[in-house]
Chains A and B, each alone.
Chain A
Amino acid sequence: KAGVTQTPRYLIKTRGQQVTLSCSPISGHRSVSWYQQTPGQGLQFLFEYFSETQRNKGNFPGRFSGRQFSNSRSEMNVSTLELGDSALYLCASSDRQGNTEAFFGQGTRLTVV
C-alpha cells in the first residue's frame, strides 16, 4: 500500500509570495494533519482535516490555511511568506481522528529568501 506522499519535496520562495503544498494520504485514511518542523521547536501542529472539514487548528496566524478534497487529499497554503516560515512541513494521515498511529509523509522543505 502506498505511503503518504507530499509534493513538492523542496521549494524556494521569496518573501511576500504565497505557496501551496500538497499531501496525498494513505488510501482509506480520512484524517490529514499538518505540522511545521523547525530546529528546536519539534513538531508544531498546524491543522487537521477529517472528511473535508477542518476539525482542529493550531496556534498559527491566518496566513496559514488548508483544505481537504473528497478523495482525502489535502493542500496547505501559506500567503505573504515571511523568512520565519522557512521550515519542513510534514503531513500525517490516519484512519481515524486522534488516538491512533499517524503516518507521516517525507515533508516539503520550504525556504523563504
Chain B
Amino acid sequence: GENVEQHPSTLSVQEGDSAVIKCTYSDSASNYFPWYKQELGKRPQLIIDIRSNVGEKKDQRIAVTLNKTAKHFSLHITETQPEDSAVYFCAASPPWGNTPLVFGKGTRLSVIA
C-alpha cells in the first residue's frame, strides 16, 4: 500500500520568510495530493491540492509542486505570517476509488514574529 514520508517534523521561520515542507510517496499510481492545515485545537482543513496531471499549483501565498518521477511533492508558503503557525499534513491517494487518503506524520510550523 501507499506510504507517505513527511519532512521536517518541526520548522521555525521568521515572519516574512518562506517555509517549505516536503513529502515523498511510494505508490507511483497515486495521483491526488492534498495538503491539510490543522490549527491548535481545530480540525484539519484542506488548504491546497494537486493532481498528477499538473506540476505546480498556486493559491496566493501557498504553492504545491509535484515531481512524479521522483515521487515527491512540496508545500511552499511565502511571506509567512503568525497565523500560518499550525501543523501541516500531506497526503496521497491512488486513482482507484476504493482506497483512503494516506497521510504523512505532519510538520509543526512556527512563525516567529
Could you jot down 15 A-B contacts, CB within 8 Å? A35-B103, A40-B9, A41-B105, A42-B106, A43-B44, A45-B101, A45-B102, A45-B103, A56-B99, A97-B97, A97-B100, A98-B101, A100-B93, A101-B46, A107-B43
B44, A97: Cβ atoms under 8 Å? no
Instruction: Check: A106 CB closer than 8 A to any chain B CB.
Output: yes
List of B residues within 8 angstroms of A41 by Cβ: 105
User: What total of A-B pairs shows CB separation below 8 Å?
Assistant: 67
B33-56 interface with A by 8 A CB criterion? 34, 36, 42-46, 49
- In the bound assembly, the distance between CA atoms of A99 and B101 in angstroms comes to 7
Q: Looking across the interface, which residue of chain A has its beta carbon closest to that of B44?
A: A104
Please tell me if A55 contacts chain B, counting CB pairs below 8 Å.
yes
Chain A residues with a Cβ closer than 8 Å to the other chain, count: 25
Tell me the smallest distance from the CB of A77 to a CB of chain B, in Å: 19
Q: Which residues of B contact A (CB under 8 A)?
A: 6, 9, 31-32, 34, 36, 42-46, 49, 89, 93-106
CB–CB A56/B105 < 8 A? no
Q: Which of B9, B98, B101, B106 contacts A102 (CB 8 A)?
A: B101
B101 touches A33 (CB 8 A): yes
B42 to A: closest C-beta gap in Å: 7
A105 to B45, CA, bound (A): 10
